[in-house]
Structure 1
Amino acid sequence: MKIAISSDNHLDVNQVDVNQALNFQGHWLLDHQVDSYLFAGDLFNDFQQTRAYFTRLQALLGQQTRVYYIAGNHDLLKHAPYALVEECSDPAYLHRRFVDLAGTDWRVIGNNGWYDYSFSSYANQPQRVAQWKRAYWLDSIIDQPLSDQQRMANVLQEVDKQLQAAKLAGKKVILLTHFAPAVEALGQPPANLISPRQRYFYQMFRAMTGSKRLGGLVERSGVVKKVFYGHLHGQHPTFSRHGVDYYHQAVGVRNKRINEWQTDNFFDQWQLTLKTIEL
């Protein structure tokens, strides 16, 4: 069983021709005989476009390769009412669902994830962080009828339920999520944080990156062996903690202001960051 995982393609932000991307990715997956393609969020700034893309990709791949995806925060910026995001019936959408990989004892559990400010030094001041988010952070326009802490609590409750079911079924688990699940994923602070304002904004950024509680949950479960996450961009080495391997596979953004790529075109960058493993 061969699986390939990608995230954070940002086709609209990167101004990539959608048809070219779809044909390239589809034929690469077929040529390399990939059984399942997992995507860990942030394809478009529009949930409707993300869903349509994966529907088309699955049609191209036919029965050889199955496609499964979750949503990142960018996917939720448009055409993503909260109820739809939580209950979408698209068979390829893996949020709050799982799929057992045929012929193996592996189960892929998907959850978009969220954040609870726990990676920030302002974690104990949630109102202050929430106020900053409303003023400066793109996610403030996402439809959300509850606080970030409540949303993350729902994530943990759902993932815990799924992990307990996997344990009863005797499955080894791959968790597919968008946000960072462990502080090690964030690496060291940038060296150019000099002013108090820069350090303050960096801590606010960290607040929106994920939750340390998710990593703790999966490590205590005893059944999760691999976690794939995105969101952070840049290259992050795989790391292991308490028997769980954490993988990051974000393509990232390249435009006039930002260049997070190690190559000069999207297609090479997608191949470079793509994680492929055999089970």
Structure 2
Amino acid sequence: MKPERIKVLIIGSGPAGYTAAIYTSRANLGPVLYEGIEPGGQLTTTTEVENFPGYPEGVDGNQLMADLRKQAERFGTEIRTGTITTADLSSRPFHIVVDGTKEIEAESIIIATGATAKYLGLPSETKYRGQGVSACATCDGFFYRKKDVAVVGGGDTACEEATYLASLCRKVYMIVRKPYLRASKAMQERVFNTPNIEVLFEHNTAEVLGDETGVTGALLRKNDGTETKIDIAGFFLAIGHHPNTELFADQLELDAEGYIKVEAGTSKTNIEGVFAAGDVKDPHYRQAITAAGSGCVAALDCERFLLR
């Protein structure tokens, strides 16, 4: 049986993938979007989104993604459940396999597979995800104004999140497993000069504590075995993100962290006809609105490529 031929294949269903779908379908390119393992992307793991323009009262993360999906479908995007299991980008049309069985030939591809926040792997952390446990201070910090919170990590991101939270919260604990911060000198100075940040060196989180209202504290274990409990309302992970690029690792140019490299100011990868959008190529901003904007860029780049 001959593989199905598709003009525009969009891989991923977060704000980047859906925005790319809205633009390519309005351009009459008949995009097909595969949702992947997390339909709706990272936003479906958060509750209230208050910083997406156009929602003055805020919006539930799932609702926002449902709205974007509906908009993409309205213009004719075909949205399918399924995960891309292999992608051969060595020649056009690109050869794609879905769920290990279905074969597709794509004239162009927009990769919007996102990045996954790294978690500690504690059952209690999973239990309170979205109820006090978060991997994005910029997204959720506002909900913890004048409260006590903790940030896990000792790198630049953790320091940045801690100083951001310190401007909103009463107190910020930094839980750092090493006896020092890995962050740059400037970031370290910023942390040490912020009076309401307390750095707890050589501590690991043993358990996130909570009740039916959400997170209430954390049980910390020092490297010498002693345990302490801190009272907090928010528990923020800042131990990095993992871009979902395994599928393309030996074909596309990636940076040292595994993010897809694109030509500056565009969505173009090192392979003609393959474009990247959203968190999969963005280790810096990781916001729904920047992902949506880059989905628009990828769609326009893709349209120009196909017209040429």
Judge same fold: TM > 0.5, yes or no: no
* TM-score normalised according to structure 2 size: 0.30
Give the structure with the higher percent strand. 2
Structure whose alpha-carbon radius of gyration is higher = 2
Larger helix percent: 1
TM-score by length of 1: 0.32
Greater RCO, 1 or 2 (C-alpha within 8 Å, sep 6+): 1
